[in-house]
Structure 1
Amino acid sequence: MQSQSVSYFDRVFEYYYSNTQQDSSNPPVLFIHGILSSGQLFTHELMPFMVAEGFPVYSLTLRGHGTHSGKPSSQPFQDHIDDVAAFIEFVSLQEKKPVVVVGYSLGGLIAQHVCQKEALSSKLAGLALMASVPPQGFGQLNRAMWFDHPALSMVLGQVMAMPNLALLNPYYRHVLMDALFATKPSQQQLDSLLSELKAEDLRLFLQPHPIAEDFSLNLPVLVVGGKEDKLVPASQVQATADFYGVEPVFFSPMGHAMPVEKEATKFAAHLANWCRML
């Protein structure tokens, strides 16, 4: 995967990219990451698989994550929405095709907000939500986590605030890894997931950022989750699917770390087949 940085109007995009060598009518696929990670997260399993299946692939690194030099403003969630919307325009212009957006975790909620923009309707081919924060936003998700897994809720807050220090605590590390992975992860999986840890801007999570209840999305939607996910459990994946009027697809054994889990290629195969039908 190639790592690139480009200026586009008043924005700087840092992203990973690879194009297929095949002459293909497949739409380009854009991955949007979640907390404590970057666009690099998708370069290990999902992007190579999709390229081999004939899809051009992109993964954007959000401001304040990975090696991105950009700083969020006083409204970091809106910054991410605006950046992703502009990057979709950029990718659509490069590829001369509408884009499939795959939003993972926090990236899923960002993608849902982006897809509300009427100006992007002709540039979007589909929306795939992968272990995504539900349309009801962080309020519902955080309440569910607090009641079902209070220790995880506490640990996650500490890890977001000071990840490298918090993960030195064996208990914190055990609780987080148990939530992220369905089976014991290999060192390679851990390295893939934890290689670009940075403290999160907690302003992202202080407001729920829900999708309007009367919002109607005229776009194909795929909703997937991991059966063993404790961060975005099956009930929240179902809530997302119900909101968009689709049936969710669950993978097992699969925790929240779907992009680097042992079964990641099974999800990638499903995604590729779904994208071909768009």
Structure 2
Amino acid sequence: MGEERSEQWHLMQRNIVLLFLIRTSHWFFLVMPVIIPFYHACGLSVAEIMTLQAGFSAATLFLEIPSGYFSDVWGRRRTLIVGSLISSVGWAIYCFSSGFWPFLLAEVVMGIGQSFVSGTDSALLYDSLQVLRKEEEYTLYEGRVSSAGNFSEALAGMIGGYLAFVSLYMPFYGQAVVSLVGLFSSFFLTEPPVSLFRYPSFPEVWKVVKDTVFRDKRLSLRIWFSSLVGSATLTMAWMAQSCFLYIHLPMKIWGGAVNLYSILWTLLNLFVGLAALKAYQADRYFGGKNFLC
């Protein structure tokens, strides 16, 4: 019995390490520092670029609730495998495409993949901590995982910028390879015992959604607030490079040796990563309500 518990403890600890790796691979965006110049080089307008992101967001939003249901029924591990596989297909489409409609297809496919991964990784983290009897430290671990993701995106920004010097498609080739890291890591996850006994019916899930979004005012306000802040920051991130182009900010500086867009993108993610790392301490110091204010 003691050996079984010890093995289970090690498997849950391994889950946490693998989730760090999965989150890092999903946030290791080699393409982001040069994504807008890439779109412009392919002849896309700003309106078409934002339409692509709307397609991604719509696919993610449409399947967010069903994917949560699948996570409960299929299990966290299987759902993460499916989501990672679909995301890899989306990046592969980008590698062999040029033009608005193929890019839109890739974004929708990746949005579907993201809907399966989003939330499931956090649920698996919580379930693993629950087995380890550390669920009260979830915010701490989630902050660390998010911070690791942001730091990986900062590093990817520098690497992606130099890959773009070879070809604007090179970051996409690299991104397709990186996506496989998350996929392979998902296969080594272990389903926590606490998540194996949850088989809610879809009407039960829908009731929880209605109660959460419309009836529980405190929780509903937090959800809408989080959505608003997330939408605003995402819009800023996507418009930043368009603004760089609009003010004629050069992408290459110092004789073409440095990608300025990569530097700016890296600095942005370093600040976000540091904030995520300290979020747990700030929340405990100020309290949840004051911290949000």
Of Structure 1 and Structure 2, the greater strand share is in 1
TM-score (norm 1): 0.30
Of Structure 1 and Structure 2, the greater helix share is in 2
